Amino acid sequence: MICTWPRSGACHRPERSLLCLSKSCWSRRRDRSLDEGPEGKVELMDPVDLASRLIAIRSLSCEEGKVADLVAAAMLEAGFREVKRTPLGSVVGIAGPPGNVTALFDAHMDVVPPTGRWTEDPFTPTIRNGRLYGRGATDMKGGLAAL
């Protein structure tokens, strides 16, 4: 379960939330891991920090290699095993002990070229009024970081 309680400054149900997207909730979490059984723990990462790092990488279509490298490194750091890049550029990995239920999370890593009137560099992540701005913040690097 993901807590997305808006503007409260505190997670509305911390006992049920695995990851709260509120920066104030995240900074107060003491245990930033999920117990995955005998294979160890998968560490939860700060999604705003990871999204910011992803936004800072220019990754137009067919130029996603550096983003894929960062995603693979983040997965390894979080405790995933068998992390690898496929021939088509996807990043795959396994979390949790063998024999558990399998779930697939899928997200694209590219962005379209910036157009229109940007008042700042679109590949410089900026947090303003509690919101993260930059190319791909909503499609799809923010979502990728939350996965």
Helix (H) or strand (E) holding 73: helix 65-78
The overall average pLDDT reported for the chain is 78
CA gyration radius, the chain: 16
- Show the tokens assigned to 120: 């700042």
pLDDT in tens, 8-27: 444 444 443 334 444 444 44
Reported as a single tens digit per residue, the pLDDT across 59-98 is 999 999 999 999 999 999 888 888 999 998 999 998 877 7
pTM, entire model: 0.72
Q: What's the fold here for domain 33-146?
A: Aminopeptidase (3.40.630)
Q: How confident is the model at residue 43 (pLDDT cuts 50, 70, 90)?
A: low
Domain ranges of the chain: 1-30, 33-146
Strand pairing category for 2-3 and 19-20: parallel
DSSP 34-69: EE-GGG-EEEP--HHHHHHHHHTS--BTT--HHHHH
